[in-house]
Each structure stands twice: as structure tokens, then as C-alpha cells.
Structure 1
């Protein structure tokens, strides 16, 4: 029965954690993110140890109150050893880090920085699509629909058809809002890969161009980028990212599908720790 399987996972994970060294000792860099595990915006908050490449903590819910629970389990010495905290731009991560680990570097994940731009880019496309639809511009409607995925993907991941759609947009409307927004997206994505000195100058130019683009969604985003510029440059300087945490999220989602019949979230968390927590699982040997 699912209830029995969940109880087994919970009991085994608890036994292994009790016999293993504390996962909170000697932490230097951690990543935090939330992942949905049920319909209706039901989330788990997951914390990963970047250096030892494992999940060290998970809890039902998300937000400052939940992340506070993680730090409350740590001793003063364990909190003081943390030097880097990666995550998205959520304010609750910033406030928790500043309270519990004031000496830690707060690093934004490059993936989420680019996602801010792709979200703004999609808003530009939707606005232009609606404008074309209301104005009876069928050619514009078709063009905006055809580049829906092409403008959001990296150029090296485009299909042949998406490359043709993007080329058509460039040839028919090279000074249009959508194409210029796409260019700004690519500039932002690429500057994150450059050395700090070069990236600093390029980010300054990017903010200037974006703020003077006369594209409302991009102008609004430029204010956010300008406000978070120190965090973005720190991300480039330290070279940390949430890529490993994102990979764990994929594995966690597989685990969630495996445990769809569990009645308690604690049993799901136990199974996640068994699969992603680096616990030393040793099956009993047959007796002769």
C-alpha cells in the first residue's frame, strides 16, 4: 500500500540521517529554490550544498518563514561558515540571508536573470500580437504567432523553422520593438559569460540602451536590472549558479511522480532525501 511505502521511506531516511554526520557541518555555499509538488501552487523549498552536490534540507511551503526554519536548525558556527547563497531574485531570500548570514555573498542565478528578460520579451510579443489583432493586421498576427518560441530560445537551440521565423522578423521589421527586445535579451545573456571587467562595462551600456528603448516592458525591466546590478556582477565574479539545483529539481520532479500516492508530504521529503541527499544506503546482505 502507498501508506506503507511512505512509512518505510520515512523510517529508513530517519535512521540513515541519525547515523550520518550532520549535513550542516562545513557548509560554504548553498543554493535555495522552490519546486511545485501538487496542483494549486503547493511548493517545497529545497536547499542544496553546492560543494558536496546533495540536497541537505527540504520543507513544505516557501517564503521567508520556511527559509527561516532552515537557518534555525543551524548553530552559530554552521551559519558563520556559509559564504555564498545562490537563488533567484526573491526578496525573502535576501532578507533571510541578511539576518542569518550577514557575511555571506548573495548570488543571483544567471538562469533567473535571463528569465526576467524572457518574461519581458514575451510580454512585448503578446502586446504586439494584440495590437495587430485589434488593428486587423493579419500578417502581423501571423508573424507574432510564428516567433513565439523562436525569440525565447537560445539561437543554438532553434529548429530550422524557428530560425526562418526569426530571420523573417529581422528582415521585415529590423527596427521593430520585438526584434530590438530580442537583441537586448541576447546581449544580456552573453554578457553574463564575460570576465568581470568586460561584463561591468557591457551591463552599464545594456541598462542605458534598455532604459532608452521606448519599449515599456523593457524600460521597466531596466529599472530592476539597475537596482540589482551589484548582485548580478557578484554572480559573474564568483561564478556560482543554480544549475546544479535546477538539475536536482528535475530529479525531484521524477521523485514526486514516483510518490504520487503518498498521503503525507513528510514521506515525499524522505524519499527525496534518500534519492538526492547523499545518504549511504546499504541493502542487507543475504545470510548463508
Structure 2
């Protein structure tokens, strides 16, 4: 509908109702007769009302209140307080996010450092690709899917001068990120975020633990098998705040395996985690020493990881120098995952992306205010 004033055509199909903001414990609705108008461009259509979008059964004020609650509260609070179905709330989030984006400046303005990551939803079977702007610490773009073809869509939205302004691209070690950055932003620095670097090591450490546990179980060594049951969370957790039980498990790691493989793998994990916090000159030597020790550890999982760390050594060192990715991308990732958990039950991924933008995109949301 074009929204222009047109000549009347008929009385239409009678009265229509819209859900409005509740008055205390009373549910409020707007009821109005809807005439039809004759538009040369749109044809014979129902007249537009100032309090709701065309074809919508909720007023703008109700949708603004619902979107604001979705940004600060959980699913149970929104549905219970507003008495609205969760599927309808997802559609409301999409409409409000679209209206707010059109009224705000472009989120791509001033981008110099971005982070990209793929986040799973629907029990890990599907992904959305999210791009975060490090300066403003907010989500600037999200799309359904995962891989180079999806990330390429983001760069197609950018003008050439905006691509040239991007200096740092942070993310995990996926090759499709490398290829897209090389094609669209050849002058940008490719940076690995510290969270994914440590996650490589924790994954390899867990593989070592499972392999040793399976070997002890097949050999019938009940004592070692019993000790290994309490070691999983102790070796994967940061040693800054362990529980008493985890301290006991860490103390028993040396006796779990006669060759000390699990304990040596845990030491290498801690060395890799701490060197990422050191100054660049110090971290450069410590990283070379770590690769030397890991490649000669005689632990297959750690030896394989040392080859990967050696290949990505320049990217890891660039991670330490700019200081962009570590805490900021982790915090954004946690907020995005919280929004995805809240969106459980939405049938359309566009509604999930809209909720992510409402909670993490820096959209200017306000409760409805009375006209002055």
C-alpha cells in the first residue's frame, strides 16, 4: 500500500479488531470499521490505519512493548505477561526489527574490525552466520546458513570504500573465512580469536582422556577407570576457580596414566591458554617452545594439533597484537547463544535473526510513550 489519500470505494468487510496494550489486568482491543479506497497504483484496497501495519492484528504500541520485553526478559515472562503466543511474538520481533533498522543509520558505517562466527540452532543441525563489529560491540549482520557462500553475501552488501576500511577480520580457523577475506578485503589482517585457539586444545585433550579411558576399560583396570571418571571436568576447566573435588582429580592425574600422557596434555593446554595473554615478544618465543614440546610429546592427538598450530602461527601472533578478538567476541557469542535459546519454538529463522538483532544489534528500542 502506498499510504496516500485516495477516494473512497465502499464500506469494506465490516469492523476489524486489533490487540492493544493491556490496562492493568484488563485486555484492551481497538475496534474500527474499515472502508475500502480506490488507488490507481494498488487497486481497491482496505484503508490504512495509523495505529497498526496493514494486515496486522496488533497495534504498533503493543508490538513495541512486546519487542522491548523480548530484549530484556525471558520467554516465559513475555508470553505470560502479555498473553501472546510465542509464534506470534516471533513475527512481532521480525516486524519491529525491520521498522527499527529502516529508521537507524546503516550498521555498516565505520566498520574497521569485524568478527565472524557460525552459531548452531535447532539442536546443531542448522547454522546462522553472524558478523560482529568490534568497535561498537554489536551484531551488524546475520544470515541463515554457514560457509563461504553465506559470508560472501555480507561483503556484497558493502560498498568498495567500506570493504577497504576493514582492517581486521577475526574468527576461527575455517578456510572459507580466509578465502572470503582474501577475495574482498586483501589488505585486512586475518586474526584467530583466542577462544577458538584454546578450544582446539581442549578438544584434543578430551580426545586423549577418552582414548586412555577406553584403553583402561578394555584392559579391565577398574582403578584407573574409576579415577578417569572424575577427571573430565577438572582437566577442561580453567584452574583459576576449581572445586575441591576437581583439585583432588587434578592431583590424581599423574597417577592415572603410568606414562603421564594426560597430565602432560593438560600442562600443554594451560601453557597455550596463558601465552595468549602475554606480550607479543614474549608470546612469540613461548609459542615456538610450545610447538616444540607438543610435536615431541608422543601423544597422537597433541602431535596432530601442533602441526595445525604451526601452520596458523602468523594468525595466532596477530591475535595477540591487535587485542580485538578475545573477550569481545566471546561476550558477543554468549549473548547470541542466549538469544538463540530464547528463540526456541520459532518456526522461521528470520524471526530468530530478528530476535538476535533486537538483543545484540544495538537497535534503539523504547517503550511506547504518550504523545505530547
Q: Deviations over 1:153-189 (max 9, x none)?
A: 1111311111111112235658511111111111111
Distance 1:82 1:17 in 2: 22
Q: Deviations over 1:23-82 (max 9, x none)?
A: 111101011111122125211111111101111001111111111111110000111100
CA contact 1:29–1:83 (8 Å) conserved in 2: yes
Match of 1:185 among 266, 269, 275: 269
Matched, 1:244 2:324: no
* Structure-2 change in CA distance of 1:145 and 1:193 (3 Å): same
* Structure-2 change in CA distance of 1:253 and 1:202 (3 Å): closer
Match of 1:25 among 79, 98, 109: 109
Distance 2:175 2:158 in 1: 21
Which residue of 2 is the match for residue 150 of structure 1? Answer: 234
Residue correspondence of structure 1 range 83-232 to structure 2 within 5 A? 83-170=167-254, 175-232=259-316
CA contact 1:24–1:74 (8 Å) conserved in 2: yes
Distance 2:234 2:99 in 1: 49
CA contact 1:79–1:100 (8 Å) conserved in 2: yes
Tell me the TM-score normalised to structure 1 length: 0.94
What's the secondary structure of 1:149's corresponding residue? helix
* Structure-2 change in CA distance of 1:133 and 1:34 (3 Å): same
Q: How far does residue 113 in structure 1 lie from its aligned partner after superposition?
A: 0.6
How large is the Cα RMSD of the aligned pairs?
A: 1.7
Which residue of 2 is the match for residue 56 of structure 1? Answer: 140
By percentage of residues, which structure has more helix?
Answer: 1
Distance 1:7 1:172 in 2: 54
Q: How far does residue 214 in structure 1 lie from its aligned partner after superposition?
A: 0.8
* Structure-2 change in CA distance of 1:198 and 1:135 (3 Å): same
Tell me the TM-score normalised to structure 2 length: 0.74
CA contact 1:174–1:180 (8 Å) conserved in 2: no
Q: How far does residue 257 in structure 1 lie from its aligned partner after superposition?
A: 3.5
Size of the alignment, in residue pairs?
A: 288
Q: Greater relative contact order (Cα 8 A, min sep 6): structure 1 or 2?
A: 1
Residue correspondence of structure 1 range 35-74 to structure 2 within 5 A? 35-74=119-158
Show structure 2 runs of 5+ residues with no match. 1-84
Which residue of 2 is the match for residue 81 of structure 1? Answer: 165
Matched, 1:253 2:345: no
Show structure 1 runs of 5+ residues with no match. none
CA contact 2:227–2:256 (8 Å) conserved in 1: no
CA contact 1:86–1:242 (8 Å) conserved in 2: no
Distance 2:285 2:341 in 1: 45
Distance 1:200 1:256 in 2: 38
What's the secondary structure of 1:112's corresponding residue? helix
Which residue of 2 is the match for residue 234 of structure 1? Answer: 318
Structure with higher Rg: it is 2
* Structure-2 change in CA distance of 1:258 and 1:117 (3 Å): closer
